[in-house]
Amino acid sequence: QVQLLESGGGLVQPGGSLRLSCAASERTFGTYTMAWFRQVPGKEREFVAAIRWRGYATQYADSVKGRFTISTENAKNTVDLQMNSLDTKDTAVYYCAYGPYAIISAMPSPASYRFWGPGTQVTVSS
């Protein structure tokens, strides 16, 4: 079982920025895909962004394109999500997800991920 832990959540004003991080303990981490999802009460889990480890393939939800950037750190089993120009609609619990290699078209599907972190709260409010 892969252990995932998100960090970096908090409260920011509209238009502000926040950077989330996700760490995983797995020797073969580099052969997998990692992603960010978010969820608010009463709504389904929503895809945000995904990235292939040791590659350059990325995928973003239309709602965050141009504002959010997913990235990995060299020699580290971590993935970050830089969130800029935050809007109140971005308020949610953000979850890190981990799964086997997935092609770009499969990255937005929750079924592509086998392990999930406990989540971190992001609140955007004036």
Mean pLDDT of 84-107: 93
CA distances from 45 to 13, 31, 66, 84 (A): 23, 25, 21, 21
How many Cβ atoms sit within 10 Å of the Cβ of residue 86?
Answer: 22
Separation CA 86–CA 17 (nearest Å): 6
Say yes or no to pLDDT of 26 above 70: no
Mean of pLDDT values over 71-86: 86
Which pLDDT band holds residue 85 (cuts at 50, 70, 90)? very high
Query: What is the average per-residue pLDDT within 96-102?
Result: 88
High-pLDDT (> 90) share of the chain, %: 71
State yes or no: pLDDT of 6 exceeds 80: yes
Q: What is the mean pLDDT of the chain?
A: 91
In order, the DSSP letters of 27-60 are TTGGGEEEEEEEE-TTS--EEEEEEETTS--EEE
- What are the tokens at 103? 């092609």
At CA 5, angle to CA 38 and CA 69, rounded to 5? 50
Query: Are 86 and 38 in contact, with CB atoms under 8 Å apart?
Result: no
At 90, the pLDDT band (50, 70, 90 cuts) reads very high
Residue 95 scores a pLDDT above 70: yes
